[in-house]
Amino acid sequence: MRYIALVPDSPLTSQAFHVLIALAARDQHGYGIMQDVAARTQGKIRLGAGTLYGLIKRLLEDALIVEVRETKRPPKSEDDDRRRYYRLTPNGRRAAQAEVARLTELLAQARAHGLVAKPN
């Protein structure tokens, strides 16, 4: 099993970060993650199935997410037993928080150099 270093030198890819954000509040299946990312980015980021499931495989290997068997599922009439649900792990939450800190620092540097308006 591989583990990612939780240091600013090892940023998450934008797509991986979006998957972690999608799982931060609740367990979701792959299609739900795709919809969540598209909705939050107003369609600017659309994860195709191949891209998403490649990301999921890597995030599982890195222990940033886990597949869950027991989760709150929709009613049987709205669900498919073949769906796999995923959950953010504590390590995944730390990785996402480290990425937020890294991006916050970059934003502060951009503001300091006049690239972003300073907040009121």
Query: Six-digit token pair at 70?
Result: 């027991």
Torsion angle (degrees, nearest 10) of CA 66, 23, 10, 13:
110
Predicted local confidence at residue 3, as pLDDT? 46
For residue 59, give the nearest of 24, 12, 111 by alpha carbon. 12
Question: Confidence band (pLDDT; 50, 70, 90) for 118?
Answer: low
Q: What pLDDT band is residue 24 in, cutting at 50, 70 and 90? A: very high
Residues with Cβ within 8 Å of residue 50, at least 6 apart in sequence: none
pLDDT in tens, 77-86: 666 777 899 9
* Exposed/middle/buried for residue 21 (C-beta within 10 Å: 0-12, 13-18, 19+): middle
Rounded to two decimals, the pTM is 0.82
Rounded to whole angstroms, the Cα distance separating 82 from 21 reads 23
**Model confidence over 95-111: pLDDT tens digits?**
999 999 999 999 999 99
Neighbours of 101 (CB within 10 A): 12
CA distance 99 to 81: 34
